[in-house]
Chain A
């Protein structure tokens, strides 16, 4: 527990200093990709709990991400300006459910992003609960295929439905004004505040997850991790916990999709593609299932490299290779104490034997 607090403090310090460093070296543009990779990491973080503690593989995280993003995309690009005289519209504006704004193309009235956030969370809870209700009875191959099937359904629906923008996606999504000085959008002025917001959101979620794992429910989750049948015999409601974790992962993905959509100002169907889901899984594989810090680091590093275009045309192939190599050689991830010790011991042995030979 102490190391967790130490790492957390260390990360908070780093977070505070990153914009300073980028400002000094005049590489402020890196903050954009860093912010995006933080939001993508959030999705993997939820999946990390699901794969590590509930032992379930979900190939549907991208679908939940898209559900969050598209919900706000649709709601905040609706324009009620033509019926602004309507009594109900005025009432809703007063209740802050609708937002009146002088936009770039004239006056607009749209759903407040706060409302969109709540609706996005509710929708993803509802869908995840329903899917989880049905799907978590399945094991192994079946579950992977079922969540994959769900993901493809969402992808095809987005691509085939007119008001979801079909292949073009939704663009010109307004910023999310949380506080007067904190607006989630892609403008250069808000770059640093957005970076801070994203990283503290990530750290906050990390803290929540750690608390969850150390709580009473966390004990149940950890016993699930150890042995499902045994924990069932101990009177733990296995189905309930599995479903709850599935919903938790879905909500995390959806919230992340919500914020990233506002940050980018647009969302396209590629966010719901299977390759994205596979990418989230491979990040969890690298970090280690159930290893929150590991996934945090691997997520930020891999997403950042990928967004910077380091892998070039081999972007997807790199993630495929990562999946194969990690799963074949280090199924518990590379940020794993035992693996590091093993490599350390072996390398020392090799060094010692070499040293002996030389003498």
Chain B
């Protein structure tokens, strides 16, 4: 392989990987706040893409994106309000099954609202054939958009959780919910915000990647399980780890195409999930003792 092809693989790997990382961060936000793995996380990505595709027909792209992110965030918040909030000390099994049910519900409703067709948002700059030459590799400007938006999301989240009042309240909530409540933090609101936030970033990721990978009502399941793989690889709850792990998984996937038939691309990602779950369930970048403190 010469350099330009390798670069091409690297760029496509980073593109896919940053989407996985965003989904994984979505998992982490909800997991940190509630201890729930939200199986409907992939559905937010799909919903964002679908909404933006439809809305962009009636309004300029920018407003369509903002509006669809807002709607998806609202959906996320409503899910928490309707299905999760009032459960009294639910078991893990119960939560797993309920969030699976929610994901099916969202998927089926979007099948009935839209249809089975594959949609794609138009490219933010240029069109399908526009390309930028970087060291001999031809990449679409959309790739740069994806990488830029995902990095911005990560930077925003780091800033949000470190320096804003609400972000710090959410972190306090994830450390110890009762203690946070005693300090006067509205824990229920924080849990709701965590759903809202993870839905919003999921939707944004779904929108920027839509011109490249297309949006389909069934895409949620696949993207969710890969996002989960990344979340596990990076250590559940660890968002910096998720970014690294996302890029690693993206690179592995894009390079695996040159070795295996592309039909088996997902098989490789999922085998990594199984292997990691068995060998190192605390993630690549974490010590075993630390993981023991968190309950799974």
List the interface of chain A (C-beta within 8 A of B): 51, 55, 57, 59, 134-135, 137-142, 144-146, 148-150, 152-153, 156-157, 159-161, 274-275, 278, 281-282, 285, 313-314, 316-317, 319-324, 327-328, 331
In the bound complex, residues from chain A placing their C-beta under 8 Å from that of B87 are 328
Q: State whether A150 touches B274 (Cβ < 8 A).
A: yes
| Chain B residue total in the interface (Cβ 8 A) | 40
B273 contacts partner chain A, Cβ-Cβ < 8 Å: yes
Pick out which of these stretches binds chain A: B6-14, B96-104, B238-246. Answer: B96-104
Using a CB-CB cutoff of 8 Å, which residues 66-96 of chain B contact chain A? Answer: 83, 87, 91-94, 96
Q: State whether A153 touches B277 (Cβ < 8 A).
A: no
- Since A145-B273, A275-B104 are in contact, a sample of 14 more A-B pairs with Cβ atoms closer than 8 Å, ordered by chain A residue number, is A138-B277, A138-B296, A140-B96, A149-B270, A149-B277, A160-B261, A160-B263, A278-B100, A281-B100, A313-B112, A317-B109, A320-B100, A320-B108, A323-B104
The residue in B39, B103, B267, B271 that gathers the most chain A C-beta atoms within 10 A of its C-beta is B267
In the bound complex, residues from chain B placing their C-beta under 8 Å from that of A281 are 97, 100
Interface SS majority for chain A = helix
List the interface of chain B (C-beta within 8 A of A): 37, 39, 83, 87, 91-94, 96-98, 100-105, 107-109, 112, 221-222, 225, 228-229, 232, 261, 263-264, 266-267, 270-271, 273-274, 277-278, 281, 296
The total of interchain contacts (Cβ-Cβ below 8 angstroms) comes to: 125
Of the candidates B101, B222, B263, B277, which one forms a contact with A327 in the assembled complex, judged by CB atoms under 8 Å apart?
A: B101
With both beta carbons as reference points, the residue of chain B lying nearest to A134 in the complex is identified as B278
With both beta carbons as reference points, the residue of chain B lying nearest to A138 in the complex is identified as B277
Interface SS majority for chain B = helix
In the bound complex, residues from chain A placing their C-beta under 8 Å from that of B112 are 313
Q: State whether A160 touches B264 (Cβ < 8 A).
A: yes
- Which 4 A-B pairs give the minimum distances between C-beta atoms? A160-B263, A320-B104, A323-B101, A140-B92
Q: State whether B98 touches A328 (Cβ < 8 A).
A: yes
Q: State whether B94 touches A137 (Cβ < 8 A).
A: no
Q: Report the Cα distance A281→B104, complex, angstroms.
A: 13
Q: Report the Cα distance A285→B91, complex, angstroms.
A: 14
Q: State whether A316 touches B108 (Cβ < 8 A).
A: yes
Q: Report the Cα distance A59→B296, complex, angstroms.
A: 18
With both beta carbons as reference points, the residue of chain A lying nearest to B265 in the complex is identified as A156
Q: State whether B108 touches A327 (Cβ < 8 A).
A: no
Q: Report the Cα distance A150→B221, complex, angstroms.
A: 13
Q: State whether A323 touches B277 (Cβ < 8 A).
A: no
Q: State whether B93 touches A140 (Cβ < 8 A).
A: yes
